[in-house]
Amino acid sequence: MTDSDPAADPDLLQPHEADLLRYANHLLGRTPGAADVVQDTFARFWAQPDDTRQRLCEANAHPGRDPHSRLRAWLFTVCRNRAFDVRKKERRMTPLTAPVSDAQTHPAPGPDQQAEQRDTHDAVLRRLADLPDAQQEVVRLKFQAGLSYKQIAEVTGLTVSGVGVHLHHALKTLRQQMNPAN
């Protein structure tokens, strides 16, 4: 690797792995399949021609911006598409209902404060699951993956203003459901 070629850095993708894994896990509902999707996403990056990888890395050299914003958006887009491909394939091959493990639905209780935080977190996730799919995805990409509106637009194919509208409606609905007296 040379200083002039950040796209050749073998550690380039590592900072994005946890967020991609969380996102793929949400899309697929399980960690083992999510890890495969993330690894496939990374393999697709390294399979790109050198000039494409270079563009994904260099196009971010704007003062005040995340230096990896374009790369990050590209990775999330590929991850999303791969997860959808996996889900489609599995729907054709598996029954419609599958048992959900207790470990996924009932985390072990902790101290009182942690239990209260977990209850609130679970309530938000339940209400989030009731939102339309597009709103759920925008909320997860914004708050779980930390993507910008522009990056979310690139990942989902929405316009930047469409991302804002979905996010606004989702948060308004969640606030109303969490605080019905207000």
Tell me which residue range forms the domain holding 110.
102-182
Ordered mean pLDDT values, 10 residues apiece, the chain (182 residues): 58 88 87 84 88 76 65 91 84 52 52 73 81 89 84 90 89 83 64
Q: Is 74 in the same domain as 109?
A: no
Which contacts of 65-70 are long-range, i.e. CB under 8 A and separated by 24 or more positions? 66/148, 68/15, 68/16, 69/148, 69/150, 69/151
Closest CA to 57 of 98, 2, 94: 2
Q: Is 140 in the same domain as 178?
A: yes
Task: Single out the residue in 98, 133, 148 at which a domain terminates.
Answer: 98
CATH for 145: 1.10.10.10
Task: Single out the residue in 98, 125, 145 at which a domain terminates.
Answer: 98
Burial classification of residue 40, based on how many CB atoms lie within 10 Å of its CB (0-12 exposed, 13-18 middle, 19 or more buried): middle
Number of domains in the chain: 2
pTM: 0.56
Other CB atoms within 10 A of residue 182 CB: 6
Q: Is 41 in the same domain as 8?
A: yes
Q: Is 26 in the same domain as 81?
A: yes
